[in-house]
């Protein structure tokens, strides 16, 4: 079968698309990757919540799928909104890489060793909230761009440290530049972080069947809990929100948080269960009852 993959043009996005291409070719399919420039890639001087949230990295690719010019999209799941455009569906989730965040610093210092007033670059409100709660003496400043751009800005001295997803650094072979891997009890990841997800037209059963062997059920269960948590709270780029689920035998354990951007208020919750979506909803409702609703706004 011939499959046309639509991808952003960043090095990380093309690595992920190429990885999927290789796996599908091993299964006997003919695969082409087409790079598509998205709104999020064009408007790099503005915050994501202003240009359309994380969906700004998907819009043009999803339009190409609906138009029939590509058949499959390869996304970092943390960039995919809970609600998909009509006519599209997620069709496979690959086995998850390490979901944790990583700190890169100019002198190799870890998060607790950075000097007072150190400048940390990130545009993620989730990271900002948790960093400020952990080290309110730090100066957390906006930083957008692809992985190469962000690391270059650090090396040029614009920041003392930056925070990036460990999975992306590993996929690009840049994990040796990490000063400290931040455990989930220090910095809770974004829902879906570390997972690659595939999206196709809802009625395209041929493509869905072709990619089905790439689906990793345990990862699918974990991220289903995280995205159910996200769906109840309605968060995204506008609200600091984190969630991480992992399997303990046949039981799924989920940790979640909601906070304010400056880290003055952080509400955390956790739960265990065997139904991923029910678990995600339960933990989210617990947070809402304990004050998260006030942070989320109307």
Three-state DSSP string of 59-70: HHHHHHHHHCCC
Give the 3-state secondary structure of residue 160.
coil
Mean pLDDT calculated for residue range 268-294: 96
What's the rounded Cα separation, in Å, for the pair 63 and 61? 5
Q: Which residue has the higher pLDDT, 71 or 295?
A: 71
Q: Which residue has the higher pLDDT, 153 or 53?
A: 153
Question: CA 72: distance to chain centroid?
Answer: 19
Q: What is the model's pLDDT at position 237?
A: 58
Please give the radius of gyration of the chain, using alpha carbons only, rounded to the nearest integer.
19
Mean pLDDT calculated for residue range 39-47: 53
Confidence grade of residue 236 (pLDDT, cut at 50, 70, 90) = low
Q: What is the model's pLDDT at position 51?
A: 43
- Two tokens, residue 273: 């269960």
Q: What is the model's pLDDT at position 55?
A: 60
By the 8 A CB rule, do 256 and 284 touch? yes
DSSP-assigned states of every residue in 211-269: HGGG--HHHHHHHHHHHHHHHHHT-SSSS-EEEEEEEETTEEEEEEEEE-TTSS-EEEE
By the 8 A CB rule, do 150 and 121 touch? yes
Confidence grade of residue 41 (pLDDT, cut at 50, 70, 90) = low
Q: Is the pLDDT of residue 52 over 70?
A: no
Helix axes 217-233, 276-287, angle to 10 degrees: 30
Which are the catalytic amino acids? 79
CATH 3.30.160.40 given to domain 224-292: yes
195-231 pLDDT tens trace: 999 999 999 999 999 999 999 999 999 999 999 999 9
Q: Is the pLDDT of residue 70 over 70?
A: yes
Region(s) of the chain under CATH 3.30.160.40: 224-292
Q: What is the model's pLDDT at position 296?
A: 81
Q: Which residue has the higher pLDDT, 296 or 218?
A: 218
Show the DSSP H helices in 11-115 as ranges: 11-26, 39-42, 48-51, 59-67
What's the rounded Cα separation, in Å, for the pair 75 and 78? 8
Q: Which residue has the tokens 């003055």?
A: 264
Q: Count each helix (H run) and each strand (E run) in the chain, helices first.
A: 11, 13
Confidence grade of residue 50 (pLDDT, cut at 50, 70, 90) = very low
Lowest-pLDDT range of 8-17, 86-95, 126-135, 289-298: 289-298
92-134 pLDDT tens trace: 999 999 999 999 999 999 999 999 999 999 989 999 999 999 9
Q: What is the model's pLDDT at position 283?
A: 98
What's the rounded Cα separation, in Å, for the pair 26 and 214? 11
Q: Is the pLDDT of residue 251 over 60?
A: yes
Nearest by Cα to 97 from 151, 16, 40: 16
The domain 2-95+195-215 is placed in CATH, from the list 2.60.120.200, 3.40.50.1980, 3.40.190.10, 3.20.20.70, at: 3.40.190.10
Region(s) of the chain under CATH 3.40.190.10: 2-95+195-215, 101-182
CATH 3.40.190.10 given to domain 101-182: yes
Nearest by Cα to 229 from 241, 219, 217, 216: 241
By the 8 A CB rule, do 265 and 257 touch? no
Helix axes 147-155, 11-26, angle to 10 degrees: 140
Q: Is the pLDDT of residue 14 over 60?
A: yes
Q: Is the dihedral of CA 211, 217, 219, 221 positive or negative?
A: positive
Mean pLDDT calculated for residue range 27-44: 81
């Amino acid at each position: 079968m011939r499959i046309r993959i639509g991808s952003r043009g960043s090095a990380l996005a093309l690595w992920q698309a190429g990885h999927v291409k290789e796996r599908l070719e091993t299964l006997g399919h003919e695969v082409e990757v087409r790079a598509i420039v998205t709104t999020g890639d064009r408007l790099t001087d503005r915050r994501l919540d202003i240009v359309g949230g994380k969906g700004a990295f998907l819009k043009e690719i999803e339009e190409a799928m609906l138009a029939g010019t590509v058949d499959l999209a390869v996304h970092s799941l943390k960039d995919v909104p809970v609600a998909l455009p009509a006519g599209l569906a997620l069709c496979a989730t690959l086995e998850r890489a390490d979901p944790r965040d990583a700190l890169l610093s100019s002198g190799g210092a870890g998060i607790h060793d950075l000097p007072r007033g150190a400048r940390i670059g990130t545009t993620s409100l989730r990271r900002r909230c948790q960093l400020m709660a952990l080290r309110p003496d730090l100066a957390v400043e906006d930083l957008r761009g692809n992985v190469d751009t962000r690391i270059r800005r650090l090396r040029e001295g614009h920041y003392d440290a930056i925070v990036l997803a460990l999975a992306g650094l590993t996929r690009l072979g840049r994990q040796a530049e990490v000063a400290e891997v931040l455990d989930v009890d220090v910095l809770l990841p974004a829902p879906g972080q570390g997972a690659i997800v595939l999206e196709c037209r809802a009625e395209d059963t041929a493509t869905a069947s072709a990619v089905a062997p790439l689906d990793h059920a345990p990862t699918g269960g974990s991220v289903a809990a995280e995205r159910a948590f996200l769906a109840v709270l309605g968060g995204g780029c506008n609200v600091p929100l984190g969630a991480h689920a992992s399997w303990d035998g046949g039981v799924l354990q989920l940790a979640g948080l909601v906070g304010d951007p400056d880290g003055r208020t952080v509400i955390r919750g956790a739960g265990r269960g065997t139904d991923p979506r029910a678990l995600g909803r339960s933990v989210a409702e617990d947070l809402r009852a304990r004050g998260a609703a006030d942070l989320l706004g109307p």
